[in-house]
Amino acid sequence: MKRIIVGIVLISLVSLVWAGGQQETSDAASGAAATEAEPEPVVLRMGLNNPDGHPLVESMRDFAAILEEKSDGQYQVDFFTGGQLGDKQTHMTMLQTGSLDLYMIMGGFLSDYGVDVLEVMMLPYLFDNVAHARAVQESEIGDEILAAIQEAGTRTVGIGMFQEASRNFFFTDRAVTSIDEMSGLKIRAQAGSIYEELLESFGGSVVPVAFSELYSALQTGVVDGAEQPYSGYYSNRFYEIAPYYLLDGHETSPNYIIMSEMTWNSIPSADRELIIESQEEAIDNFNAISADLDQEMIETLEAEGVEILEPDNLQEWKDAAQPLYTDFAPGYGDLIERIRNTSY
């Protein structure tokens, strides 16, 4: 009888150990399945020169939301706005070394990294209007322009273009409506040699000032004026100290979204397509509301006492800027013709 009882106890113990092992195996398998089903999200770091609230910053947040949704949370974006990571050169170095993933930049800066074709897109008065510029960007020409960014050896990849309203001049203490009135004025030039020559062609005295320092430069008289589209002029509150805004529309060129080549190469091809699709959707969303946003900003600026000015003779500005076509776009005559003939 004792042997029977001992046998029953041993069988029970073995059964418990076996059941426990099975439970551990089951738990481990469940944990492995959960881990496989829920990988850690990829967090992309993005730098922006403009502050929070700027339409382009909000459009990039829209891109991030679209990408996160399309990827089921696999891709997220952390934002560093207002130039908090440093100047443009610092951002570019971070992109090239892989410590930054995304950045928004104007073409003048990138052209100095060897992407010469971007200077064509910045030629003064090349586009009839914003609709014309967007039509070009959405055509084969736009694809060629974006591809050129990587092909030039910048170690970055162009993934999209946002087109705002044209860029215009603004001034601190006088209404300027003719080129003669530009003579001798100290005007801030952004990075890019084409901007310096443009200002000189209009008679301005070029003063290079970092964008983050522009407000104080205007306030202290280091510069008499600068140039921005409505959004930059409004969101950075330049109107508080420079209330004369001249609608000369000298440049209608895009803001480029670029990605670190190191990041791009680390992303599976299917996910690259997802990123491009998300960017295109965000651009479409921006295009649908940008005109209304511009009108709201104009009305607010006028209510704040800004004097909105028109050039006395726009043709004299166009004539003065014509030499830039020879200086910055030699050999691009066919491309310029294709741009001008693009329907919109």
pLDDT of residue 20: 47
Are residues 237 and 215 in contact, defined by beta-carbon separation less than 8 angstroms? yes
pLDDT of residue 38: 72
| CA proximity to 250, closest of 153, 127, 148, 145 | 127
pLDDT of residue 295: 95
pLDDT of residue 15: 46
pLDDT of residue 37: 60
pLDDT per residue of the chain (344 residues) written in tens, 0 to 9: 444 444 433 344 334 334 444 454 445 454 444 445 678 999 999 999 999 999 999 999 999 999 999 999 999 999 999 999 999 999 999 999 999 999 999 998 898 899 999 999 999 999 999 999 999 999 999 999 999 999 999 999 999 999 999 999 999 999 999 999 999 999 998 877 788 999 999 999 999 898 889 999 999 999 999 999 999 999 999 999 999 999 999 999 999 999 999 999 999 999 999 999 999 999 999 999 999 999 999 999 999 999 999 999 999 999 999 999 999 999 999 999 999 999 99
> Buried b vs exposed e over 28-47: b needs ≥16 C-beta within 10 Å?
eeeeeeeeeeeeeebebbbb
Q: CA–CA separation, 144 vs 329, rounded Å?
A: 16
pLDDT of residue 36: 57
Domains and CATH numbers, the chain: 42-164+253-296 (3.40.190.170), 167-251+300-340 (3.40.190.170)
3-state secondary structure of 171: strand
